[in-house]
Amino acid sequence: MIHIPQTSRRSFLKGIGAITASGMFPNYLRAQGANKKVALACIGVGGKGESDASGVSGNNEIVAICDVDANALANAQKRYPNAKAYSDFRKMLDEIKGIEAVTISTPDHMHYPAAMHAIGLGKHVFIQKPLTNTLWENRQLHLAARKKGVITQMGNQGHTYEGNRVTTEWVKAGVIGKVKEVHVWTNRPIWPQGKSAVLNKTGKAPAHLDWTQWLGQTPDIPYSDNVHTFKWRGFLEWGAGAFGDMGCHLMDAPFVALGLTTASAVTATQVDDLTDIAWPTGSIVKLEFTNVPGHGDVPFTWYEGKKPDGKPYLPEFPASIDMAEAFGRGVSAGGWMIVGTEGVILNKSDQAKGMQIWPKKRREEFPEDKIPKTEPRSITHGNPQQEWTESIKLGKEFAYAAHFDYSCPLTEATLIGGLAMRFPGKRLKWDSKALKFDNEDANKFIKRTAYRKGWEYSADKI
């Protein structure tokens, strides 16, 4: 049966009416033997999809591959010659009955329909971050997965790292005292956003791309040559902006260490160059987490992109950090710090790697090799794809993994932060249980405004 790692997470699940832990998995999902090969299908096999397929392929069998880009599909066929190839994942999943599990590595707007179709057929799912780019879809995905009893995972590899565990152990050991605040920053976006993200409606798509299938659940628009590939991240309809892209990486270790689930309020204090179709070029967003066990109220501030003068948005670093020693020639492109009453944990990368304790005196008082290792380690360090397939073979989700009981709340935090950017300066109170803000204008963006006919998925219909 599934393990819910913390009481706060169990409370979260009760809040959305999820099935209790004791009844989540039907008999057909019981342990099948660790030596068994999982029969996998991969939806999206270019870019990140290529590495996800590679990650799951060891000790398993890829029986089907799918991509709307014929060039990406042809390259994948060379690597997996025995896999049947498709451009429509619905046809693939409906036709090949032996598929047990599915990786989904598509643009953000297609995570949801691909996952819901697979879950509806009882397939286990691995989805790249963020899980969805709307709050309603994120909630429906969580409910559907628990309804069908499938084994889930989000692809944020840092969750498997040693540093993720070490951060938690340092906080629990009281290395920095009581946590007062968390700050996270990134140099993203590194793709067009704001006014530079425009739709060049050039008409006919190239022969190798099925543009209608690429749009999927979203309404028809003429083909634009500056959307596929990669640049879709900057558009409101298809991407989740810098917060969605990097939040699930950068927020991960602090989220775990403090046992966070859902914020009570969010404010975008700075938003630059947001347009009707594109995410901003830079922003600062403050999430409020209240009554965090052992710490009280903890503000969590996100910084992304650059100011109009070209300088990055960054937090104010405490005087206890020796900036020259900590960063050398300049502040890292991404990182985070957890600020406590007695010190700071500083991390200078997108995932938890090489954290430092400040001030030095505190570091000396808590030698790293003397801090107890209390957290379970991942069995596949750096490979969440294999971690997921191993859990499928065991018939249960590892408590420490980025399964949906953990990753749906994490994704939710990034999505309310992104939504708040549409309302600069306004403090929006968030009711996670009811899935709504205290602002009716904000509530209009919780669910996608329009779905293509035949692409309407929901937990109650699978």
Render 95-133 in DSSP notation, one character per residue: H-TT--EEEE-S-GGGHHHHHHHHHHTT-EEEEESSS-S
Fold (CATH) for 7-157+381-403: Rossmann fold (3.40.50)
Do residues 289 and 260 lie in contact, with contact meaning Cβ atoms separated by under 8 Å? Answer: yes
Which H or E run includes 64?
strand 61-66
* pLDDT score of 58: 93
The mean pLDDT values, 10 residues at a time, for the chain of 462 residues are: 38 43 34 76 96 96 98 98 98 97 98 98 98 98 98 96 98 98 98 95 90 97 91 98 98 98 98 98 98 98 97 98 96 98 98 95 96 96 96 97 98 98 98 98 97 97 94
3-state secondary structure of 36: coil
d(CA 79, CA 462): 33
Compute CA distances 383 → 18, 51, 58, 155, 313, whole Å.
28, 10, 11, 9, 31
- Residue 13 has, within 13 A of its CA and on its CB side, a CA count of 25
Instruction: Give the total residue count for the chain.
Output: 462
* pLDDT score of 304: 98
d(CA 122, CA 94): 12
Burial 7-35 (b: 16+ CB within 10 A, else e): ebbbebbeebebeeeeebbeeebeeeeee
Give 102's strand partners: 41, 125
Sheet with 282-292, side-by-side order of all strands? 356-358, 344-347, 334-340, 179-186, 296-305, 282-292, 265-272, 427-431, 436-437
Backbone angles phi, psi at 261, to 5 degrees: -130, -75
d(CA 46, CA 74): 10
Compute CA distances 31 → 1, 4, 35, whole Å.
10, 18, 11
Q: Which residues contact 353 (CB under 8 A, 6 or more apart)?
A: 161, 163, 347
Do residues 241 and 279 lie in contact, with contact meaning Cβ atoms separated by under 8 Å? Answer: yes
State both tokens at 116: 């819901």
- Return the sign of the alpha-carbon dihedral for residues 431, 443, 217, 200: negative
* pLDDT score of 1: 30
Q: Which residues contact 368 (CB under 8 A, 6 or more apart)?
A: 166, 357
Give 286's strand partners: 267, 301
* pLDDT score of 6: 38
**Other CB atoms closer than 10 Å to residue 406's CB: what's the count?**
27
Backbone angles phi, psi at 336, to 5 degrees: -155, 160
State both tokens at 435: 């899935």
Smallest CA-to-CA distance from 154 within 140, 167, 138 is with 138
State both tokens at 165: 């565990």
* pLDDT score of 27: 30
* pLDDT score of 202: 75
Do residues 206 and 224 lie in contact, with contact meaning Cβ atoms separated by under 8 Å? Answer: no
* pLDDT score of 33: 56
* pLDDT score of 74: 98
Instruction: Name residue, tokens 């919780």.
Output: 446
